[in-house]
Amino acid sequence: MVALARKTLVYEWRRFLPAILAVGFASLLQLLQAALVLGIFGSASVYITGSSADLWAGYPGTQSVNLGRPISEDVAMRLRMDPDVVKVEPFRWVDADWRGSRDTGGVSVFVSGIDVRPDGMMFSRALPPALRARLNEPGAVIVDKADLDSLGVDIGDVAAINGQRVRVVGVSSGLRALGGVNIVASLETARVLDLSRDDAGMMTYFVAKVRHGAKPKVVANRLNGSNAFGPYTVWTAKAFARESSLYWMFDTGAGAGVLFLAGIVFLVGSVITSQTLIAAVIGSIREYATLNALGVGRGSLRKVVMEQAFWVGALGLLCSIVIGLILLVIARNRSVPMDLNPLTTIVCLALSMALAIVSGLAAVRTLRRADPASLLR
């Protein structure tokens, strides 16, 4: 078979370039947008994804991890009673006000009070053991490297949280928060910083690890069965992280914005791509008509145009993948929150390929003008 579609694409690449670029840019925009959204809203659940706990027990109906309320110590007891739970650990969340040593005004911060033992589950992925051990010192806190500027401190500096003296003993990365700044401290430090005296001593969450081989989802369902130990809900870490990210995405209206932008990108991309493909078909309309006169069916001619659309899509995707990877690396080096999972990548690329195919279908309609009888006039 003569590769008409591919040879024409190579020979007349200037003609097809706008379409390839349109698909490429559309794909790149979708990918970056998805990466940014996942990165930014993923940081809403950094407490969960940065920790190794399988289960989270918190106040019933909590929509996002930052909205937790104090729960009874009895819940920890209930968790420990489950045969599949091997370890339970408290987590205290304190909303607080920060005053740095440099003049930064008040900064709203979220203090995470965690169990600082080396085998602690909270932030086990974000804090190396040596750094974690430094939190044993009373008043010691750790912040994200990227937040030092907005907090107006350097490592070793002293600052005030809710009027209490704290000292920055180290920095980590991957602790950036949404809508504020994350501060990690020990449970004891966090208790001192908590101003609301009425629930003093009460924890916000209890996180747990399940026995190796047990399914967290099954255990969570079992634990949610009764309210005998006071009101609480148990989530799997995965579900709670997802719920937190989604809450932020839709609470801020960003989710709708993202969908809207994706629609615009798709529309503009397919207009450019289909116009380019239509122009290419019209440019060869007499040749197509000749083939039809010689008996090559319309279905076969359509296939040629669709094949062209496919290659335009494939080349566009290739461009976007290469450029996207470069940008992702740059973003990562500069602590821009960007995150892409394989599923989202595939969805973005599939959308862009669909754009090319839809444009091809629009161009196929132009083939109706390939009337061999018109060649005789």
Partner 1 sequence: MSTIASTSASGTPALQARSVRKSFVSGRLQSTVLHDLTLDVHTGELTLISGPSGCGKSTLLAILSGLQPADGGDVRALGHELSGMSTRALESFRLQHTGFVFQGFNLFPALTALEQVELPLSYMGLAKEVVRKRAVESLEEVGLGPRMRLLPAELSGGEKQRVAIARALAKEPELLFADEPTSALDAANGQIVIDILHRIARAHGTTVLCVSHDPRLVHHADRVLAMEDGRILSDHVPPAAAFPLQGESQPPTRSGY
The answer to whether residue 377 forms part of the interface with partner 1 (CB under 8 A) is yes
The answer to whether residue 296 forms part of the interface with partner 1 (CB under 8 A) is yes
The answer to whether residue 297 forms part of the interface with partner 1 (CB under 8 A) is yes
CB of 373 to partner 1, least distance (A): 4
Q: How far is the C-alpha of 135 from the C-alpha of 127, rounded, in Å?
A: 11
The answer to whether residue 7 forms part of the interface with partner 1 (CB under 8 A) is yes
Longest dimension (CA), the chain: 94
**Per-residue interface string for the shown chain with partner 1, residues 298-337, x marking contact by CB under 8 A:** x-x-------------------------------------
The structure tokens listed for 354 are: 């669909």
Q: How far is the C-alpha of 252 from the C-alpha of 65, rounded, in Å?
A: 16
CB-based contact 354:269 (threshold 8 Å): no
Q: Which is nearer to partner 1, 204 or 292 (CB)?
A: 292
CB of 319 to partner 1, least distance (A): 22
CB of 302 to partner 1, least distance (A): 13
CA angle, 90 then 92 then 93, to 5° = 150
Residues 6+ apart with CB under 8 A from 203: 70, 71, 73, 76, 90, 91, 92
Q: Which stretch binds partner 1 (CB under 8 A): 87-95, 199-207, 295-303, 330-338?
A: 295-303
CB of 278 to partner 1, least distance (A): 18
CB-based contact 94:180 (threshold 8 Å): no
Count of Cβ atoms closer than 10 Å to residue 309 Cβ: 28
Binder to partner 1 among 294, 333, 342, 368 (CB under 8 A)? Answer: 294
CB of 304 to partner 1, least distance (A): 10
Binder to partner 1 among 233, 284, 320, 366 (CB under 8 A)? Answer: 284
Binder to partner 1 among 33, 162, 164, 290 (CB under 8 A)? Answer: 290
> Taking phi first (over 0 means left), then psi (-120 to 50 degrees means alpha), and beta for anything else, what does residue 350 get?
alpha
Q: How far is the C-alpha of 148 from the C-alpha of 169, rounded, in Å?
A: 12
The answer to whether residue 10 forms part of the interface with partner 1 (CB under 8 A) is yes
Binder to partner 1 among 43, 274, 292, 352 (CB under 8 A)? Answer: 292
Q: Which is nearer to partner 1, 11 or 260 (CB)?
A: 11
Q: Which is nearer to partner 1, 145 or 298 (CB)?
A: 298
The answer to whether residue 152 forms part of the interface with partner 1 (CB under 8 A) is no
Q: Which is nearer to partner 1, 149 or 287 (CB)?
A: 287
Distances (CA, A) of 179 to 44, 72, 248, 287: 9, 27, 10, 61
φ/ψ (deg, to 5) at 58: -150, -170
Q: Which is nearer to partner 1, 53 or 370 (CB)?
A: 370
The answer to whether residue 14 forms part of the interface with partner 1 (CB under 8 A) is no
**Per-residue interface string for the shown chain with partner 1, residues 230-269, x marking contact by CB under 8 A:** ----------------------------------------
- DSSP H or E stretch at residue 223: helix 216-223
Q: Which stretch binds partner 1 (CB under 8 A): 9-17, 21-29, 153-161, 207-215?
A: 9-17
| Torsion from C-alpha of 81, 88, 41, 70, nearest 10 degrees | 80
The structure tokens listed for 74 are: 């009895």
Residues 6+ apart with CB under 8 A from 232: 57, 58, 59, 60, 71, 72, 75, 78
Residues found near partner 1 in the complex (CB under 8 A): 1-2, 4, 7-8, 10-12, 284, 286-287, 289-298, 300, 372-373, 375-377
